[in-house]
Structure 1
Amino acid sequence: MRPFVELTDVSHTYSTGGTLAVDGLSLKVSEGEFAAVVGPSGCGKSTLMKLATGLQFPQKGAVIVDGKEVSEPVKMAGMAFQAPTLLPWRTTLENLMLPLEIVQPHRSRLRKHRAEYVAKAEALLESVGLGGAGSKFPWQLSGGMQQRSSLCRALIHEPKLLMLDEPFGALDAFTREELWCVIRDLHARMAGKLTVILVTHDLREATFLADRIFCMSQRPGRIITERVVDFPRPRDLEITYTQAFSDIVHDLRARIAEARSAA
């Protein structure tokens, strides 16, 4: 399967002469794959995300998405972060519709086909357990419900690439595991049409969700190892209590500890 996201020997700093955030960073993520990126704090995981979506451009190396070198923000990408960042004056449904007001071709079609888009948004909310919540404002939703809404907003414009930057990090353990299953099911329903890159500190989260896990070094970040997760899909949460699952988590933890000590 062809690489959908490809970074080749990428180096980047946020200021002229500043400390490198990443250096010699290379990775390939196949179309339809669910990849996770883990590593020590400050290793450049979020920088990788910004480079892959065209929010930053490398000083050296190449970033290719869907066969094209990235030279502007990637319109085919959806993004979700640790903070849901829902606009408080908009209802949940109105927040979901926001990307459609910005991204073509939806922007040109929205006024004429609004009923069609509203039905699509409501169906997406229903699929993550938020049926009937479209009229509620963000402050009327729990943290977990807000994050479900944020995931829906990231998917409403049918992106080919979904970038997740610590999306469940602020949630309690039970809600976090619920949302693991939500994103697992959303990815499965896209049937190979959605490529996901998850940036996370949670090694259990990475192991449960990903097909492949990339582990980064201490800053300046680069990939020091990758681990294929070959548990069959669909995965049930019970797998997180198995020895095979724990072995992967412990191996990743050891790799990160080595990276930190090498700094």
Structure 2
Amino acid sequence: MEPGFVSLDGVSHRYGGIAAGPEGVLAVQDLTININRGEFAAVVGPSGCGKSTLMKLATGLQFPFAGHVRVANQAVTKPVKIAGMAFQAPTLLPWRTTLENLLLPLEIVQPHRRELRRNKAQYVERAEKLLASVGLGGFGSKFPWQLSGGMQQRTSLCRALIHEPQLLMLDEPFGALDAFTREELWCVIRDLHAARGITVVLVTHDLREAVFLADRIFVMSQRPGRILVEKKIELPRPRELDVTFTKEFQDIVQELRGHIVQARQ
């Protein structure tokens, strides 16, 4: 099989520390996954199966003791600059406005850091357009404490996209939100993916979320994690929320639930 845009081949990784014993805790073992350029992939599985470890390995925040990790045909030996990340907690800096929070990655990552000083107005315009695209036009001057949880998470998504990454990694980004806000943000990320054509990897416990958003879903085993099942989602795009009430959609959710029940045994 040819490597995808994101490729983990026979990867094993463990976490050490005195409490973990002399050899540490094996998080993933012989993990192989290939995600194509422009694809929306979702990763599901039992708690503690190594889903978040997969994200860290793919973005160069951790390095395996066995196997190979490649992104955009490059071996991952350092943090991946072409990736943006969003997590369950928005982690916005409370003393910075929404716009200032958005610009933060540009103050750190080259070449944007250099360019930001020269062309700040251009970058501010880009940030304001991004905010408008997720329904936050006019909120750039607000502080995080003036925003709802859903608005903070939209800001977090924008911050992950501000440097125009080729790869977007989402680690349970909607898990702390109420059901209605969560479904609203499903549509936001659906539209962002369609408009930008970027590669998205979503880690989630929510099977409905995975089926609604993804082109393919990967089911992981109990720790040490590896891929047990790969499921292609044939539901036509663009998908509206009404599709979640159809028998076809529910059947896919039940099939995935069955795989996860088996994985936990």
TM-score range, shorter chain: over 0.9
Gaps of at least 5 residues in structure 1 are none
Matches within 5 A, 1:146-165: 146-165=152-171
Contact 2:82 2:167 (8 Å CA) reproduced: yes
Q: CA deviation at 1:105?
A: 1.4
1:233 is aligned to 237
Superimposed CA distance per residue, residues 18-44 of structure 1 (whole angstroms, 9 cap, x where no aligned partner): 120000100000000000000000000
Could you tell me which amino acid in structure 1 is paired with residue 4 of structure 2?
P
Match of 1:111, SS state, is: helix
1:259 matches 2:236: no
1:14 is aligned to 15
Matches within 5 A, 1:79-118: 79-118=85-124
Selected match of 1:64 from 53, 70, 88? 70
Superimposed CA distance per residue, residues 208-254 of structure 1 (whole angstroms, 9 cap, x where no aligned partner): 00000000000000000010001111110000000000011000000
Match of 1:3, SS state, is: coil
Count of residues in correspondence between the two structures: 259
2:136 is aligned to 130
Whole-angstrom CA distance in 2 between matches of 1:226 and 1:103: 35
2:226 is aligned to 222
Whole-angstrom CA distance in 2 between matches of 1:188 and 1:142: 26
1:207 matches 2:186: no
Whole-angstrom CA distance in 1 between matches of 2:113 and 2:169: 22
Whole-angstrom CA distance in 1 between matches of 2:230 and 2:102: 34
Match of 1:42, SS state, is: coil
TM-score, length of structure 2 as denominator length: 0.96
TM-score, length of structure 1 as denominator length: 0.97
Q: CA deviation at 1:2?
A: 6.3
Match of 1:182, SS state, is: helix
Whole-angstrom CA distance in 1 between matches of 2:111 and 2:249: 43
Could you tell me which amino acid in structure 2 is paired with residue 89 of structure 1?
W
2:41 is aligned to 35
Whole-angstrom CA distance in 2 between matches of 1:207 and 1:105: 37
Q: CA deviation at 1:9?
A: 0.5
Moved over 2 A (4+): none
Contact 1:8 1:24 (8 Å CA) reproduced: yes
Contact 1:163 1:197 (8 Å CA) reproduced: yes
Contact 1:2 1:31 (8 Å CA) reproduced: no
Superimposed CA distance per residue, residues 146-185 of structure 1 (whole angstroms, 9 cap, x where no aligned partner): 0000000000000011000000000000000000000000
Whole-angstrom CA distance in 2 between matches of 1:125 and 1:188: 17
Q: CA deviation at 1:112?
A: 1.0
Contact 2:3 2:34 (8 Å CA) reproduced: no
Q: CA deviation at 1:91?
A: 0.2
